[in-house]
Amino acid sequence: MSFFLRLPAVRRTLAAAVGLFVAVLPLQALATEVQEVVSPGGIRAWLVSDDTVPLIAMDFAFRGGTAQDPDGKPGVANLLSGLIDEGAGDLDSAEFQRRMEAIALRMGFDADRDAFQGSVATLAARRDEAFELVALAITRPRLDPEPIDRMRSQIAAGLRSQQTDPDWIASRLFMEKTFPDHPYGRPSDGTPESLAAITRDDLSAFHAATFAQDNLVVGVVGAISAEELAPLLDKTFGGLPKTSRLKPVADVAPVVGERITGTLPNPQTVIRFGAPGVKRMDPDFMAAYVMNHILGGGTFSSRLYNEIREKRGLAYSVWSGVVSYRHAGLFMAGTSTGAAQADQTVELMRAELQKMAAEGPTEKELADAKTYLTGNYALRFDASGKIAEQLVGLQLEGLPIDYFATRNQLVEAVTLEQVKAVAAKMLAGPLTVVTVGPPQG
């Protein structure tokens, strides 16, 4: 869940300006400008300094995420993500929001399975005030009853609406069956029952265990130098505990090979495929990434798109993806089609996955994929917020600071033999199939 809060005119203006910021930086220049900043207190951040526009974007993350939710109470991290900026220190929710408004500060938080993330955008001229509010929010959140009840109600309303969303149902069924008895198999947003049971003590305990300096990664982009950023890191994050208290989360192999059916009175049937994948630091990751692009990774030239939409018009869109969690790797594919065509679509998708496993791609497909993936990479860096997000992502994944400079070389180095081998490794075995749609027969 992401709470990028109410954006009145001044903050919409800031957001629009941030969206343009650093678009002038070519990828080659960006790759050489990433520098590591170490504060006097030892807090580290990766920085891209550029004063083209007087704005600063900062992303940061604490490792842990919803996998750290207490047993029996999924949804704690998600609820907390909506509360960090709902009052802190001596400032209640209304006053904290007023202070943010006054300095045009944009701040939001989100929790995924492996990390609790924050994102900040501010005018450079209000830098000190903005970072003070960020520090207050992450070190001394109030967690008052009124915001807790309000956010709990919002999430509960969302959960109720999801009960009739076939995509959400398919995803929930898939994760439950793929990761039984593991934190990844729990609903990240919680359930109505678990949400009602979450207390302020649960939220406070999650915050105390997870928000710590040894658990922190930071990415900053904008009109700030390394010399200016270093002391601000201590002012912002120095009040956190030195050491986190994370629960151990085990590596897990996904359980695959099941046929799972959910029913919903809906004219469309949602389809999900699942297979074992690779984690981000696996030597096979880049070959899997290229293979996925050819198979169904989001372009109009993919095999799945061609077979399902172009040739037969069975679906508007069809996709596949390599999903790399910290403790597991997955391959997924999916689409939505008319209920009467669901069985046909399942078999066509299965056939394409099996064909890729048996034969791999052609030389031309590999060459075309490399051209697209290397040429398209720069589009990830057309805004400061995107760059800050990438800086944090690289650190969470354990990738080197020069990755921007070397990534396209890694793509180019992938061989046809590597792609064929990883396709066979991931797709030749049993496949999980989830369908959610109207009852058959």
Dihedral angle of Cα 123, 128, 133, 137, to the nearest 10 degrees: 110
The percent of residues above 70 in pLDDT, for the chain, comes to 92
Q: How far is CA 21 from CA 7, 32, 53, 225, in A?
A: 19, 18, 6, 16
CATH architecture under which domain 259-437 falls: 2-Layer Sandwich (3.30)
29 pLDDT exceeds 70?
no
Average pLDDT over all residues of the chain: 92
Helix (H, G, I), strand (E, B) or coil at 216: strand
Answering whether pTM is above 0.85, one says yes
Residue 317: closest CA among 338, 345, 298: 298
Q: Domain 9-237 is classified in which CATH homologous superfamily?
A: Metalloenzyme, LuxS/M16 peptidase-like (3.30.830.10)
Domains 9-237 and 259-437 alike in fold: yes
Using 50, 70 and 90 to split pLDDT, how confident is the model at 23?
A: very low
204 pLDDT exceeds 50?
yes
How does pLDDT run across 107-151, given as a tens digit for each residue?
Answer: 999 999 999 999 999 999 999 999 999 999 999 999 999 999 999
Q: How many whole angstroms separate alpha carbon 311 and alpha carbon 31? A: 41
What are the structural domain ranges in the chain?
9-237, 259-437
Residue 361: closest CA among 431, 298, 288: 288
How does pLDDT run across 33-52, given as a tens digit for each residue?
Answer: 899 999 999 999 999 999 99
pLDDT at 6: 28
Residue 356: closest CA among 423, 422, 433: 423
Q: How many whole angstroms separate alpha carbon 303 and alpha carbon 296? A: 6
Hunting for tokens 């690289």 — which residue is that?
394
CA 387 to chain centre: 14
